[in-house]
Amino acid sequence: MAVTAASGIRAVASRAHRQEFVAKLLLRSASIFVVVAMGALLLYLATEGTKLFTVDHVSPFQFLFSPVFDPDGRKPGSLVFIIGSLSITLFAIVIGGPFGIAVGVFLAELAPRRFVNMMKPAIEVLVGIPSVVYGWIGLTLLVPLIRTLTGSNGFGLMAAAIVLSVMILPTVITLSEDALKAVPDALREGSLAMGATRWQTIWRVLIPAAGSGLGVAVILGIARAIGETLAVQLVIGNASVLPTGLLSATAALPTEIVIDMAGAQQGSLLEHALFSMAFLLLLIAMLLILAVRFVMRRRT
């Protein structure tokens, strides 16, 4: 009986080791696949995005700082689109980021449980709404409202930035709430036990403790805002001119890529310029994310 029991234990242990080996192999394979896929994407964009300079011999200075976008005249300047992308993204983060974090704080720390249970499904539904729906609502409701209030044509940076602010709210709210709920209850109890008010506990204890999670919420908001195409294209005006204010119609890197990609012949200067814009958009997104991470680390 003892021999049988021992052999059974060895068989179970051997099966467990095999399962562990298979699980580790699958996880490592998945990790390697993701790294290789991301590396291949970066390499492809870098290769195609630099042909404008290596094949067509366009100056990087002209590409980055010229406001004239005329590929037929060998003037593929992207300054207008760079300023448009950065403007609407920064505006959306400045408005949507703090507001989303504030709503996350309210849901995690102040709101009644019944209200939270009602709001959570609504926020999750907002996350799944396609971007074209946000853009269509902005086109049919927001643009006419701005036109009525300001006397402009309604299209421009303000309309695009407001639409993006609304789009990133569900992501920022959900991640902010999760980050605050992940803070140990001992910190809350200790702060309250020392005589701090509820607001002092939230402002001086919970928000700093959840700083990394709140930073991730803002980073994902930036990632969604910087690359948004359809919603922005419907309300920004799509004019290749430098904006002079929030009511000015302009264009952004993603919108210009979508507009011109259908008519770009393979190997043409226009195609190379669009690839350069795509590569530049990726670099801008990476730099913004690294900047937010740096600021969050300095604060912590």
- Is residue 145 pLDDT above 80, yes or no? yes
Predicted confidence (pLDDT) at residue 6 exceeds the cutoff of 80: no
Summary mean pLDDT of the chain:
85
Q: Is the pLDDT of residue 299 over 60?
A: no
Domain at 60-299: CATH code? 1.10.3720.10
Burial 37-56 (b: 16+ CB within 10 A, else e): eeeeeeeebeebbebbeeeb
Q: Does residue 2 surpass a pLDDT of 60? A: no
Q: Which residue's entry shows tokens 């002092």? A: 200
Residue 185 has pLDDT above 80, yes or no: yes
What six digits make up the tokens of 76?
A: 């593929």
Whether the per-residue pLDDT at 134 is higher than 80: the answer is yes
pLDDT at 241 over 90: no
Domain ranges of the chain: 2-49, 60-299
pLDDT of 74: 85
- pLDDT number for residue 203: 86
**pTM for the model:** 0.82
Residue of 149 and 224 predicted with greater confidence: 149
Please check the confidence at residue 190 and state whether its pLDDT lies above 70: yes
- pLDDT tens sequence across 36-70: 998 998 899 889 989 989 888 888 899 999 888 88
